[in-house]
Amino acid sequence: MRERIEELFAAGAAADKGAAREAFSVLQQALGAGDVRAAEPDPAAPTGWRVNAWVKQGILLGFRFGDLVDMSEGLPFYDKDTMPLKRPGTAAGIRIVPGGSSVREGAFLAKGVICMPPMYVNIGAYVGEGTLIDSHALVGSCAQVGARVHVSAAAQIGGVIEPVGAMPVIIEDDVLVGGNTGIYEGAVVKRRAVIAAGTVLTGSTPVYDLPNGRIIRPEPGQPLVIPEGAVVVPGARSVNVGAGADWGLSLATPVIVKYRDDRTDTRTELETWIR
């Protein structure tokens, strides 16, 4: 499958449409079943994750060679015919609560996932067992979300298809993502971290680690990595250059105020009561 997709992608617009659609369909089914992932754990990689660029190439084939069709079901919707909505059925053990949520076919939702309306999961995303995606939350294309994660209301887990070699956002197991949080540009949040409401993380965001007296910055060519168990809150730092000091300006910046302990765990256990 990989060789076929790479061959068709390299051909660009000249690729055979039927062959490209067939290759994408096979990939879409594999993604939806969780058998193939846009990124996967790799202990040998600096971030612990490896990007599968060929998977993103295959998704792009689906967009390029799909035909625009009417997908209206009560409300008007028009999209590529290669991008239908996922219909997992009750046997999958997934709760998609009524109220306007959408999950594209080619996304994987594990058993026990709860989707509160309205929310959206895009193609290529992977959502692990027991994760809660709350109202107005987004899990972008190819984002990888682990097991028992709480993606709170209005949180944005950014997606990325192009460039194909770019790391998607990675949220590892047992992470709490607070409301109105934005995590973008391939940031990696390691297991058991807590990202407080209103925090914004990007691929170039410096994070101030108070307990360890250090500033966490992405390594050259690598994404931002939030350490395991870190509790990250919105903060600010003063502007000391140009007119910034005279004007009393400050810039928003994430701050690690502590690392997860028993008290933090007790508070995050409250969500289990709604399951």
pLDDT reported for residue 274:
47
Number of Cβ atoms within 10 Å of the Cβ of 207: 23
CB–CB of 156/170 below 8 Å?
no
Q: What does the mean pLDDT of the chain come to?
A: 93
pLDDT in tens, 23-39: 999 999 999 999 999 99
Q: What is the mean pLDDT of residues 19-23?
A: 98
pLDDT of residue 31: 98
pLDDT of residue 266: 59
pLDDT given at position 73: 81
pLDDT tens by residue, 140-185: 999 999 999 999 999 999 988 888 888 999 999 999 999 999 999 9
Examine residue 163 and say whether the peptide bond preceding it is cis (omega within 30 degrees of 0): yes
Kindly list the distances between the CA atom of residue 269 and the CA atoms of 31, 176, 197, in Å, as whole numbers in the listed order: 31, 10, 17
The yes-or-no verdict on residue 264 having pLDDT over 90 is no
Q: Is the pLDDT of residue 270 over 60?
A: no
**Mapping DSSP to helix (H, G, I), strand (E, B) and coil, where does residue 232 land?**
strand
Each residue of 48-70: b (16+ CB within 10 Å) or e? ebebbbbbbbbbbbbebbbeeee
Predicted confidence at residue 268, as pLDDT, reads 59
pLDDT tens, 248-259?
Answer: 999 999 999 999
Closest CA to 157 of 135, 179, 132, 184: 184
Q: What is the mean pLDDT of residues 135-143?
A: 97
Please give the class, per CATH, of domain 88-274: mainly beta
Tell which wins on pLDDT, 162 or 119. Answer: 119
d(CA 60, CA 161): 8
For the chain, what are the domain ranges?
A: 88-274
For residues 74-78, give the mean pLDDT: 85
